[in-house]
Chains A and B, each alone.
Chain A
Amino acid sequence: MTTTGRRESKAIAPKLLLLALAVAALLSPWASSHPDGLERVAEDLGFISLAEEATLFSGWMPDYLFPGLRHEGLATALAGVVGTLLAWVAVLGLGKLLTLARR
């Protein structure tokens, strides 16, 4: 491992995190609201109702909307930021745990 390599990957990680947060906060409210591939197929082939009948629980922020905010764009952006930070912490923690176990 070269010191340059270490410095580069250290420098890029915060930039990529900022990029991820920007995507979550600024782009997600503009996401297409059309059904995705599977939802579209389930509608066309007539089995989408199976999902509506079977919802086990709706989670903390169903449909990526932060609870209690009336402005939908803002609720989506906030849910996106919270989820992005959650994913970052969880994956980073997993990586640290895995390499900790190695030592």
Chain B
Amino acid sequence: MHIPDGFLDAKTWLGAAAVSGVAVGYGLKKTGEALQDRQIPVLGVLGAFIFAAQMVNFPVGGGTSGHLLGAALATALLGPWSATLILTTVLIIQALFFADGGITALGANVLNMAVIAPMVAHCVYRLLGGVRPLSIFLGSWCSVIAAAAATALELALAGTVPLSAVLAAMVGWHLLIGIGEGLITCAFVAFVRRSGLLAATGPYDEGEGKIA
């Protein structure tokens, strides 16, 4: 759901850029405080994996596709602010080198996919008491739907398209895409957990350190 240049007016993309600028600044501070040295290699490889996975669109039926967002995944393994930094970096690389997501829309894309999506996944993990298959699936699903809804709101705010039409259409497709997000995230976390990583660094486990 990378917004290209041309979909948003100046007031909307400037506003979104201001909000995400503040959020990313806060994320830098929080992650700088809480990230443990042993988590740094994980941070890096999650950036690599999320970039790669975002290239692999899967069909969801009706001639439409979706791809992993990765916000719920990074949140499950490291915490929401680390997820914000990872996703922001990936989005910058995509916009600068691959023309995926507009330069002017970067702030809005960061807000939707790097700030709102991890925050929603984080809230679901907190509400459901940790990172387990069901909460991972729901957190992933909700994170995608929330990012889609935010995208729709921005498009409506910009006067590009009426809210009722774009909100229903965006949320409708992402109800399906979110299922793919949930399945991939569950599988990836299970793979990492089996290797023992999550037990050592899981941000939602009792007795673990601060949420990074």
Q: Which A residues contact B (CB, under 8 angstroms)? A: 1-2, 4-6, 8-13, 15-17, 19-21, 23-24, 27-28, 30-38, 40-42, 44-45, 47, 50-64, 76, 79-80, 83-92, 94-96, 98-99, 101-102
Contact = CB atoms under 8 A, between A and B. Distances in A.
Given A24-B55, A57-B103, A87-B48, A51 B169 contact: no
Given A1-B36, A16-B48, A47-B160, A54 B56 contact: no
Interface string B91-132: 011111111101110000000000000000000000000000
Given A9-B201, A23-B49, A40-B63, A33 B169 contact: no
A87 B93 contact: yes
The secondary-structure label for the interface of chain B is: helix
Contacts, number: 239
A37 B195 CA distance: 34
Interface residues of B, number: 74
Contacts of B51: 20, 24, 83-84, 86-88
B52 A91 contact: no
